[in-house]
Amino acid sequence: MKRRNILKLGSGVVITLPSCSGGQKTEKAVGRKLESNPAPAVIGKTGANTQYRQPAYVNRGLRNPTMNLPSEFGGATVTHSRGLSGQPHVAMTFDDGPHPQNTPRLLDILRARNIKATFYVIGQNVDRHPGIVRRIVAEGHEIGNHTYTHRKLTALGNSEVEREMMKTEEAIIRAAGVKPRTMRPPYGALLQQQRRMIFSSFSYPTIMWSVDPNDWRRPGPSVVASRILSGAHNGAIILAHDLHSPTVDAMPRTFDGLLSRGYQFITVSQLLAQKSQQA
């Protein structure tokens, strides 16, 4: 389903963005290039009538190192779209879950590679699938606030925005006993005034992204993987959606490709903690 987003800039200019994820441009890779001669691919299936190209290195047993990094962050920065560029760290983020089939399958893929990700969950889905949220937390992943109903926040008043944030926070606490520490607005649409208000009321910085494969358009698993691999850079915050089965199909190739290039996966809070330490 085609979705369009509207962002209002401080100058009053309104930009229409053709993306569920907010339409941000994918950042160019910093200091890293996609391999010119990638490993030969083999054809595999993930379900009925769904084919994707899975590279040979998927089954090499690549694993992310255990990253015992601090996750406490502070500072007055209201919006973040990337981490520091000095280390080969990336934060993999997944929006719109939990999904009853896709999210558990994704968690299996992550666990096999010792990768910790950040999940920006919708409160309604948390209430529908609290057991999946408990598993996300139990396996060391981070939970972020993605509103309760996935409404476009730029169309809401402050009290409605606060209600969306609070209902989701309460749902996450009920399900898993943890409080989210960051938020991501649906469609990437949030006015600067709203970002400041949320930061003041909930201490949530707004988390955007620097790599967007536009997976919500369902271009196919191989395209999603290729876009992430070509766009990756040190400190990247990578956007994806576990709502979509083809996105989960793309993750083995994506994760193994990034690991083979020397990238290490950490959570969004760990990225922000590095920025706080530098500051």
Helix (H) or strand (E) holding 7: strand 5-8
CATH class of 77-278: alpha beta
Amino acid occupying residue 207:
I
Per-residue pLDDT of the chain in tens (279 residues, 90 and over written 9): 434 343 333 434 333 333 455 444 333 333 333 333 333 333 233 333 344 444 443 446 899 999 899 999 999 999 999 999 999 999 999 999 999 999 999 999 999 999 999 999 999 999 999 999 999 999 999 999 999 999 999 999 999 999 999 999 999 999 999 999 999 999 999 999 999 999 999 999 999 999 999 999 999 999 999 999 999 999 999 999 999 999 999 999 999 999 999 999 999 999 999 999 987
Catalytic site includes residue 233: no
Selecting among 241, 242, 249, 256, the annotated active-site residue is: 241
CA distance 145 to 91: 16
Active-site residue flag, 146: no
Neighbours of 261 (CB within 10 A): 15
**Cβ 237 vs Cβ 81: under 8 Å:** yes
- Using CA atoms, how far residue 261 sits from 53, 217, 250, in Å, is 19, 27, 17
What is the C-alpha to C-alpha distance for residues 84 and 274, in angstroms, rounded to an integer?
7
DSSP letter for each residue of 118-133: EEEE-HHHHHH-HHHH
Given the residues 95, 96, 215, 242, select the one marked as catalytic. 95
